[in-house]
Every structure is written in C-alpha cells, then in structure tokens.
C-alpha cells in the first residue's frame, strides 16, 4: 500500500476544507484584535502617551499574529490551486489594498515616535487607523462576494478567467458584509484593550465595545436575512465523485431561491453555528458591562468563529460559486490538489501548526499583563 493511501482522497479533501476554515478563523481571532486596535487608536487615545499605550498593547505580538494570514495564503495556494487562481487574480486590486494596509502597520509602529512633532505622530496614528480599517473592510467585502458568487469561468483546458471588475465587488450586500467585519473586529479590539489597559482608556473602549458588539449581532442577522431573501443558492445534482479527479466541469449544478439554507434544513444541529455568531457578541457585551474583559474577548472570539464558520457550513461543498455558469463553481470535491500533495501537506501541518500554537501561547504568557505609563517609560524598546 502506498503511504498516502492510508487516508482516502475524499477524507483528505474534507480535512483540508476544515483546516482552511480553522486557519481563517485563527487569523480573524488572533490578528483581528490588532486590526481593531488600529482602528480604535485615534479615538481612545486622547494624549500622545495614551496612544503609545494603545500601540504597545499589540506591538510585541502583531507580527506573530500575521502568521495566520501567511498560513491561509499558503493553504489556499497549495491545497486549492484553482481557488487561489480565481481569488488572487480576480481580487487583485482588493488584495493590493489589503497589502498596503498591512505594510502601513509596521512602518507606522517603527516611525511614529521617531519625531516629537505632533503633526508627524498624528499622521502616523491615522495611517495606522487605515492599516486596520482597509483590511477589515476588504475581507468582509470579499466574504460577501463569495456568498453571492463570483464572475469567473473555466475553459476545457482548466484555464481560469475572471470576468468581473474591482468596482463590481463593491455591491450593497458585500459592503454590508464589510461593515459587519469592521464592527466585529472593533469589538475584538475593544475587548483586547480592555484586557490590556486601565482607566481612562479602559472606560472608553468598554463603552465602544458594548456598542459595536450589539451592532455585530444586528448586522450579522441582517446579512443572514438578506442573503436568504435576495441571493441564489447552489446545490449539486450529480456528476461529482468525492475521490475523483479535480475537474470542476464534470458535475451538474442547479440553483435555488432559498439561498444557502439547504445544509441547515438537512442537518438542523448545524443551526448552532450561526446561533453562536448571533449570541456570542452579546455575551461579550455583557462581559464588558460586568467589567470582565478576558471573558469578553473569549466570547467575541467565539462569535467571530461562529460567523465565519456559518459561511462555510452554509456553502459546503462549494468554496467559490461562479455566476457565469454554476457548473464551473469550485467545490471541495473537484478543485483540490492531488491526493499525494494533500497528504504531504497534512504531515507538514501536523508538525508545524502545533509548534506555532505552542510558541504563540508561550509569547502571550510571557507578555501577559497590562500596559501602563510605567511600562512605557521603563522600556526603551517600546513604540
């Protein structure tokens, strides 16, 4: 028996679909509070010293949190090459804007305090705001477009062509999803700052987090309602072989007017996933109201996981629908890498993902505690 036959092709595809979801959730939860903190910076720090405190709550950890984004990009490239081809070519301008936002963060951290000028520092504070706002918005917009379907086609020789435009991505539903992403990560950033700071910053972020937490639940519910009232769902009617070759053109697909609710109707226990997405942000609000910030960030993290996971659960087995021809849509069963590639990647993941988690846990343990004026003044390496 060949070694990679120990795990069948269809099982490996499911495993990598799950791993991709876990990595995306990991990025949103771990790097999400960095993005949220950047967006909050100009508003919760009233003095230069307060803004330095805000920056230094994420300064030591943001680079490590970026690993989740690298893992997500690598997983899509290696495990789902056709998904990578469509998303990284069709969403090219959007990806470029995300990259600009991500680049602004380290530059802002490093250069902000190089000069005493108030104008200089204020400018970098707003650039750090942009570095948090733009990726948060774009990621939400991208998710909204994935749910609606993307205008791409696949030729018989498996070449992928994106037929849309950047401004076509900025449709009302996608923008609503982008706003949801922003308030969701603002709540996460506020919860993080509540954990890491004392008054007066604590009181400010506590109030903001309570407002954005409620907005997260409202906007998530509105997105779900609009999705299933005004969006077409997809389902496979035949032709798919779960352990067959990766050829999206071999299946038959039909659309339905009930949106993406089929999986929930067939397996009612799956309703727990969006329920978590609805309820957990409100639990975070309650925890902030009770001055329990650690519980608040855990609750909001669960909410983020529920919101992202509900998309994957609703769409399964589709990972990127095509609006040009539903048959060309990419699914778990027909757009993955080879059996051998997925197996080798799984071995690598089993070795290195626990290593990343262990290192990350150690870093947070070492750096645990609040950032204060004393912390800033006593550390020459602080931002």
The predicted pLDDT at position 13 comes to 93
Total residue length of the chain: 383
Which pLDDT belongs to residue 186? Answer: 97
- Between CA 183 and CA 224 the distance in angstroms is 16
Residue 59 is part of which domain span? 10-377
Q: Give the model's pLDDT for residue 280.
A: 97
d(CA 191, CA 284) in angstroms, rounded, equals 8
Q: If you search the block for the tokens 């733009």, which residue do you land on?
A: 134
Between helix 293-315 and helix 118-148 the angle, nearest 10°, is: 30
Residue whose entry in the numeric block shows the structure tokens 């929930």:
264
Q: What is the pTM of this model?
A: 0.91
- Please tell me the distance from the alpha carbon of residue 64 to that of residue 58, in angstroms, as a whole number: 10
CA–CA distance, 287 with 269 (Å, rounded to integer): 27
Check residue 4 and give its pLDDT. 60
Q: The tokens 């750090």 sit on which residue?
A: 128
Q: Assess if residue 154 is contained within a domain.
A: yes
Residue 318: beta bridge partners? Answer: 331
Residue 2 lies in a domain: no
Predicted confidence at residue 5, as pLDDT, reads: 67
Within a domain: residue 318? Answer: yes
Q: How many Cβ atoms are within 10 Å of 257's Cβ, its own excluded? A: 10
3 in a structural domain? no
Block mean pLDDT (10 aa), the chain, length 383: 72 93 91 92 90 87 81 86 84 87 87 86 92 94 91 85 82 94 96 92 95 97 86 83 85 82 90 96 96 95 96 93 90 90 90 85 82 71 69
Q: What integer pLDDT is reported at residue 215 of this predicted model?
A: 97
Tell me, yes or no, whether 319 lies in a domain. Answer: yes
Instruction: Count structural domains, the chain.
Output: 1
Q: Does 1 map to a domain?
A: no
């Amino acid at each position: 028996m060949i070694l990679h036959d120990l795990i069948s092709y269809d099982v490996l595809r499911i495993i990598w679909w799950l791993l991709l979801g876990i990595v995306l959730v990991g990025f949103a939860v771990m790097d999400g509070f960095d993005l949220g903190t950047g967006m909050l910076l100009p508003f919760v720090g009233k003095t230069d010293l307060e803004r330095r405190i805000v920056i230094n709550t994420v300064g030591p950890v943001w680079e490590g949190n970026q690993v989740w984004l690298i893992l997500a990009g690598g997983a899509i490239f290696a495990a789902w090459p056709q998904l990578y081809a469509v998303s990284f070519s069709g969403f090219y301008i959007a990806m470029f804007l995300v990259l600009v936002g991500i680049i602004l963060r380290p530059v802002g951290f490093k250069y902000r305090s190089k000069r005493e000028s108030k104008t200089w520092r204020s400018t970098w504070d707003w650039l750090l705001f942009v570095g948090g706002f733009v990726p948060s918005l774009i990621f939400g917009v991208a998710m909204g477009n994935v749910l609606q379907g993307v205008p791409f086609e696949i030729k018989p020789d498996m070449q992928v062509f994106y037929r849309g435009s950047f401004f076509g991505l900025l449709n009302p539903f996608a923008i609503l999803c982008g706003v949801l992403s922003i308030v969701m990560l603002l709540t996460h950033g506020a919860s993080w700052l509540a954990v890491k700071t004392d008054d007066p910053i604590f009181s400010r972020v506590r109030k903001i987090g309570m407002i954005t937490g409620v907005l997260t639940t409202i906007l998530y519910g509105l997105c779900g309602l609009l999705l299933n009232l005004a969006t077409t769902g997809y389902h496979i009617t035949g032709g798919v072989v779960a352990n067959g070759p990766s050829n999206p053109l071999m299946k038959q697909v039909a659309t339905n007017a009930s949106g993406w609710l089929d999986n929930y109707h067939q397996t009612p226990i799956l309703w727990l996933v969006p329920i978590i997405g609805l309820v957990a942000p409100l639990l975070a609000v309650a925890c902030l109201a009770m001055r329990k910030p650690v519980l608040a960030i855990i609750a909001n993290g669960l909410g983020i996981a529920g919101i992202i996971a509900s998309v994957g659960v609703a769409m399964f087995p589709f990972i990127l629908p095509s609006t040009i021809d539903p048959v060309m849509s990419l699914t778990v069963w027909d757009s993955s890498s080879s059996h051998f590639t997925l197996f080798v990647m799984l071995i690598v993941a089993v070795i290195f993902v626990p290593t990343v988690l262990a290192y990350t846990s150690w870093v947070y343990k070492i750096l645990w505690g609040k950032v204060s004026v004393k912390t800033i003044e006593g550390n020459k390496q602080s931002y």
